[in-house]
Chain A
Amino acid sequence: MSGIETPNIVTRNACKLCTPLGACLAFRGVEGCIPFLHGSQGCATYIRRYLISHFREPIDVASSNFHEQSAVFGGSTGFRDGIRNVIRQYRPKLIGAATTCLAETIGEDMPRLLLDYRKSQESYVPIVHVSTASYRGTHIDGFHDAVRALVEQLGTGGVGNDRVNLFPGMVSAADLRHLKEILEDFHLSSTLLPDYSETMDGEIWEQPEKLQPGGTPLADIAMTGRSCATIEFGRTLEFRSTAGQALAEKFNISRHVLGLPIGMRETDRFFALLTTLSGRPTPQKHQRQRGRLLDSYVDGHKYVFEKRAIVYGEEDLVIGLTAFLCEIGVVPVLCASGGHSRHFADSLRQAVQDLPDQTLVIEDCDFGRIAELAPDLKPDFLLGASKGYALARKLEVPLLRVGFPIHDRIGGQRIHHLSYKGAQELYDRIVNALLERKQNQSAVGYSYL
């Protein structure tokens, strides 16, 4: 295994998005919250379009609509008017304000703007602010920072309770629903933050909705400061400031950082922690799911053994997927991420003790680099977002679509990645994709495999 860096100066077909996108998605996982970008109109519109194309759901993102004067004299007028107009139109419960690179570069004094707002507004709607300069980090950083801002600015201390905070990171809407189910099955009261399982995968409307219903209630976010424990998914989070860390420092709440529970081993760790926290064994339903998963691993093991995969996406997603691939016998020939935590390779090694020596692990990577390396790596399939399609097509190998964005298929928000259930779905899809490829390539065309 080597931790090489990309030698190129320019970024060619990025394997990442900008920080405000992550913040917008996280904010939309809060009940009645509207994301608000302090910056140019284009940022809000591009991010909306990008999110809509994946979720196929409305997501309104407001903008303070900077113009030339704002860049010279500051954007306070746009901010004030923008907040007022957003309140007028949406009657939100919360405004999630994120600063774009433009506002950050001109050095907008956000504390002062927020103070002015609190003094002046007639109808007071709370604002949570997160700094998301796009020249610092990627969308996943914007996401985690927004979650941290939410608990820092809305979490309150007081008499402790037996609730658990679960900050799962940027997972699918289906994953979020499943996590809630798991916590309920363990009889754990919890705050799942963010929770866009309904807001970004909603029903058809009976009535027009200004902001789709669902999301983490503000009261639950307030209670995060009194919970007994925090669980955060993402092994690289050990090395960064997170919501869990903020709660640990401020309210002395024990913080448990786990890998994203993808595949059996990482999910076992999650369930073991839930057993400890709840004092209950893994519920039968999930034990059976695990049993079926293992049974299918056995049924399909020959089809996947020593198949070669290129995996890409956010660092923690790739770590989870790689852990899963290794436990079923697939060789991850390249683990790539546009993220740049500087802990990608270490964290991956920690999650996957038996990571093959040949596996290339590259952070701060782009699709340009992946495409250069791919032919020699001779992958049998690609695992990642739809942006890898062009490469998969060129290599004539299947692309198994996971993560974000999935812009060329329907239902990206309904893909399960997490827990035994998610592993089952991923496993069946991978095996069947490999079988289909073999079938298509065969001259005989057996219909019995």
Chain B
Amino acid sequence: MIELLPGRERQVLRKNVEAGASEILCNKASLAGSVSQRACVFCGSRVVLYPIADALHLVHGPIGCAAYTWDIRGALSSGPQLHRNSFSTDLQELDVIYGGEKKLEASLLELIAIHNPKAAFVYSTCIVGLIGDDVDAVCRRVAEKTGIPVLPVNSEGFKGTKRDGYRAACEALYRLVGAGDIRGIGPYSINILGDFNLAGETWIIRDYFRRIGIEVVACITGDARISDIARAHGAKLNLVQCSGSMIHLARMLQRDHGAPFKRVSFFGIEDMAAALYDTARFFEDPVLLNRAQDLVRSEIDAIHPDVRRYREKLSGKKAAVYVGGAFKAFSLIRALRLIGMQTAVVGSQTGDQEDYRQLQEISDPGTIIVDDSNPLELARFCLEKNVDLFIGGVKERPIAYKLGIGFCDHNHERKEPLAGFIGMVNFAREVYGTVASPVWKLTPRHSGMRDEETVL
């Protein structure tokens, strides 16, 4: 089919197959013209900050960046819905020539007057730096006039990768931390960083911790409020879910407020249980650990029959996994194993050296591991490994479907909660619902499996 582009050879490896090649090349800019599945710095910032429901999110730039991120995600709010709007300064040619500062200031004042938000985030897009707008100064002025925090997000699209966008978002968030009153926060208290309440996942996780007796001060940014974030420094421990997006914030919280952090995942039974146990153990109170054990036991008991049923149906099937952050891939490999499936292809947009080392460790021999892949490569890998399922985002969906392969959306657009114990059942159902569909029997790739009577 295709050969790898020169310069990409070392970004792909087959575990235990290629002699010597155990180090993957990663964390580098995409090759021009490679049709990377990655987005940009702006995307990274927008993804992280989007769920903050009582903040104003204003995209400073021409219309595209705001339009493409309008109400596409499954990040739910239990209260305000302001985040689901798309506000843009919609820069025009004259703004580009004469500068967009006045328009930005007027836009902020207009929106703040109408919506009365608790804070405002101003996202810089590609051209903002080039036309010389002093976004920081505008934000300062508007903050003074309105009395709310107005935070510039340095997310010019070309200034790095999506990871830099995460970092810019963390920087903006951190400016809010410390402003809130932390009196009354108990000794067993945590923040959850990097859960975005897709389809209500934050609520599921919060409920687990509530039942164990652990207080969640702030979830950043799933169903988040500015006032929660302002109190985040009061929590005794930070749980960092989702690869890299929030690690920077966790480090700043540790540096300035002394709260350590743990990397966790809420996907799959094993990782969810480990997250609860690790957190309970951290507080060194056996009561917490007992409660966690009871909770895990009762949750697993509740879902066990369903999971077993799906496992019987799915056993021996093969999957390809291509996700944004590699950390989620670990959980997915384990979750797939639980339902009897093997991961034959695994890759991520933004994994780092350590992520890929761990991926190799938990992968089966022969697994294709890939960094910053593209549609043609992914199609090739899927066919080479003859997979039955592709787990990815909307951009990967047509690759799978056109080849006659099932697909499970595990990206931010999804509307199914896949985290927590109940999420494991939902995940298994999603996978089963696509892999077991009879439509594949009609597709060219499976024509050999056609029923006699359907052959004309």
Contact = CB atoms under 8 A, between A and B. Distances in A.
B31 A206 contact: no
A36 B67 CA distance: 20
B127 interface: yes
B33 interface: yes
Interface in B23-57: 29-43
Given A14-B90, A52-B397, A46 B33 contact: no
Interface string B78-109: 00000011111111110110000001001100
A89 B67 contact: no
A39 B157 CA distance: 9
Given A18-B62, A70-B158, A105-B131, A41 B91 contact: no
Contacts of A16: 63, 67
Contacts of B34: 62, 65, 85, 89
Interface in A29-83: 36, 39-50, 52-53, 56-58, 60-68, 70-71, 77-79, 81-83
A102 interface: yes
Contact of B5 (A18, A85, A106): A85
Contact of A135 (B58, B96, B393): B96
A137 to B, nearest CB: 9
Interface in B95-130: 95-96, 103, 106-107, 110-111, 126-127, 129-130
Interface stretch (A4-12, A160-168, A245-253, A327-335): A4-12
B33 A85 contact: yes
Contacts of B1: 208
A204 interface: yes
A179 B379 CA distance: 33
Dominant secondary structure at the B interface: loop
Contacts of A12: 85-87, 111
A336 to B, nearest CB: 16
B32 A78 contact: yes
B258 interface: no
A390 interface: yes
A395 interface: no
Interface residues of A, number: 74
A285 interface: no
A198 to B, nearest CB: 13
Contacts of A90: 376
Contacts of B61: 101
Contacts of A88: 5
Contact of B33 (A21, A82, A138): A82
Given A46-B39, A71-B158, A14 B58 contact: no
A106 B129 CA distance: 11
B90 A10 contact: yes
A8 B106 CA distance: 10
A102 B158 contact: yes
Contact of A79 (B32, B126, B380): B32
B43 A102 contact: no
A50 B71 CA distance: 12
Greatest chain A CB density within 10 A among B32, B64, B88, B110 is at B32
Interface string A401-445: 000000100000000000000000000000000000000000000
A44 B403 CA distance: 23
A18 B86 contact: no
A205 B398 contact: no
Given A14-B86, A101-B62, A208-B383, A36 B33 contact: yes
B404 interface: yes
A20 B64 contact: yes
Contacts of A42: 39-43, 65, 157
B107 A10 contact: yes
Contacts of B36: 41, 45, 63, 65
Contact of B63 (A9, A14, A52, A209): A14
Interface in A184-210: 202, 204-206, 208-210
B376 A89 contact: yes
A52 B65 CA distance: 17
A17 B34 CA distance: 25
Nearest to A13: B86
Contacts of A58: 375, 398-399, 402
Contacts of A48: 395
B434 interface: no
A134 interface: yes
Contacts of A21: 64
A62 B376 CA distance: 12
A290 interface: no
Contact of A102 (B70, B92, B157): B157
Nearest to A407: B72
Interface string A83-118: 111101110000000001110011000000000000
A214 B347 CA distance: 31
Interface of B: 1-2, 5, 29-43, 58, 61-72, 84-93, 95-96, 103, 106-107, 110-111, 126-127, 129-131, 157-160, 374-376, 379-380, 383, 393-395, 397-399, 401-404, 443-444
Given A11-B89, A13-B86, A135-B127, 6 more contacts: A41-B39, A42-B65, A45-B43, A46-B43, A52-B398, A102-B126
10 contacts: A14-B66, A16-B67, A62-B35, A79-B32, A82-B32, A89-B5, A105-B96, A105-B126, A206-B444, A390-B71
